[in-house]
Amino acid sequence: MVMRMNVTIKDVAKRANVAPSTVSRVIADSPRISKETKERVWKAMEELGYYPNAIARSLASKVTNTLGLIMPRSTEEAFSNPFFPEVMRGISVVAHREKYDLLLSTSGNKEEEKEAVIRMVKGKRVDGIILLSSRTTDELIPWLRDEKFPFVVIGKPLDARGVYWVDNDNIGASKLATNYLIKHGHREIAFISGSLEYVVSLDRLDGYKLALEENGLTFKRELVEQEEFSEDGGYRAMMKILERAKPTGVVVTDDVMAFGVIRATIDKGFRVPEDISIVGFNNIPLSAFANPPLTTIDISTFELGIKSAELLIARLKQKEIESDHIIVPVKLIERKSCVSR
């Protein structure tokens, strides 16, 4: 029976006839160690099947080589919207390239979310944090800023002073969507978004208003509705609007919601796009296959993930950073859910 104790740096040191610190340096591939000793140490590591203990390493060096990911609200919900996997895909590409692992917090609500962040930061489990979406009411951002802990947020925070963030130009994107409808002859344009708790909703509402204004159209309260980010939310919002107004076009700030909007439109006896044109946001994979295929604003979700990870890692490595934020471009994808009037 083999009682296989864990082989540590000491065992390697002994076998290679060097000091533990030398082994440590070899692991870090320090240039101040002679080629010969390195070889000798490598050989010893090989023979003993040595592998560094990352935890001990972290404790001593205060570096974890891992990035914390904070999902919005419940992790469970987050994975339901294709937006998040896509952002994570971007993040994981960069993390992999830069040799970072990813620690996912699993939280269920606002309090737990805060808890999760504290656990990561004070627990010293990560080198930096990416916040996947900011709410205006978020107390996390000031907290992290005060802790002087490196983090970047996806989505421009209300108070962006001293915080690094990555986002689209949401005002511009929303103007783009609205103008598209206006150019196609629409005058009564509805606007459906997620809760105004989210800065992104606020900004897109502004973009919508601006587009109306610049085209001499008047803003009408009854054409605007907020609901939760889900198919059902979109459905409910559109039902409410159709009960009090007659839009010919609608801007919906989330494709998943847009599916609900389409469903509501049909349920109310209208056709898409013949009676009502719809433009969505995010260009999720589903939107190309919807019926009709959805015209939508592609916000480069993948890129949002890429850039946020790059920005965070640049910060961690104390690289020169040009700006404390990055704007990722959007583009309008024309499909079949809009028509001229």
| Contact set with DNA (CB under 7 A) | 6, 8-10, 17-25, 27-28, 31-34, 36-37, 50, 52-53, 56-57, 59-61
| Least distance from DNA to the Cβ atom of residue 116, Å | 18
Amino acid letter, 111? E
Q: Are 149 and 129 a contacting pair, CB within 8 Å?
A: yes
CB contact set of 265 (below 8 Å; sequence gap of 6+)? 238, 242, 271, 272, 275, 276, 278
281 binds, among a copy of itself, DNA, none (CB under 5 to 8 A by kind): none
Residues in contact with a copy of itself, total (CB under 8 A)? 48
Q: Are 130 and 104 a contacting pair, CB within 8 Å?
A: no
| Least distance from DNA to the Cβ atom of residue 3, Å | 13
The 3-state DSSP composition of the chain as helix, strand, coil percent (nearest 5) reads 45, 15, 40
Residues 259, 224: Cα–Cα separation, whole Å: 17
Q: Does 59 bind a copy of itself (CB under 8 A)?
A: yes
Among 17, 106, 215, 340, contact with a copy of itself (rule: CB under 8 A)? 106
33 binds, among a copy of itself, DNA, none (CB under 5 to 8 A by kind): DNA
Dihedral sign, Cα of residue 15, residue 17, residue 21, residue 26: negative
- Calculate ∠ Cα 155-168-178, nearest 5°: 115
Phi, psi of 56 (to 5 degrees): -60, -40
Nearer to a copy of itself, 122 or 331 (CB): 122
Nearer to a copy of itself, 212 or 304 (CB): 304
34 binds, among DNA, a copy of itself, none (CB under 5 to 8 A by kind): DNA
Contact code string over 286-305 relative to a copy of itself, x by CB under 8 A: x--xxx--------------
Among 19, 28, 118, 158, contact with a copy of itself (rule: CB under 8 A)? 118
| Least distance from DNA to the Cβ atom of residue 42, Å | 12
84 binds, among DNA, a copy of itself, none (CB under 5 to 8 A by kind): a copy of itself
Residues 28, 173: Cα–Cα separation, whole Å: 46
Residues 198, 81: Cα–Cα separation, whole Å: 16
32 binds, among a copy of itself, DNA, none (CB under 5 to 8 A by kind): DNA
Residues 95, 313: Cα–Cα separation, whole Å: 9
Among 2, 35, 51, 243, contact with a copy of itself (rule: CB under 8 A)? 51
- Angstrom CA distances, 238 to 184, 222, 258, 262, 279, stand at 21, 11, 9, 8, 13
Nearer to DNA, 26 or 299 (CB): 26
Binding segment for a copy of itself (CB under 8 A), chosen from 20-28, 37-45, 119-127, 240-248, is: 119-127
Among 8, 38, 52, 240, contact with a copy of itself (rule: CB under 8 A)? 52
Nearer to a copy of itself, 213 or 267 (CB): 267
CB contact set of 275 (below 8 Å; sequence gap of 6+)? 248, 265
| Least distance from a copy of itself to the Cβ atom of residue 116, Å | 8
Strands (E), 157-212: 164-167, 189-193
Which residues are near a copy of itself by CB under 8 A? 51-56, 58-59, 64, 66, 74-76, 79-80, 82, 84-86, 88-89, 92-93, 95-96, 100-108, 112, 116, 118-119, 122-125, 259, 285-286, 289-291
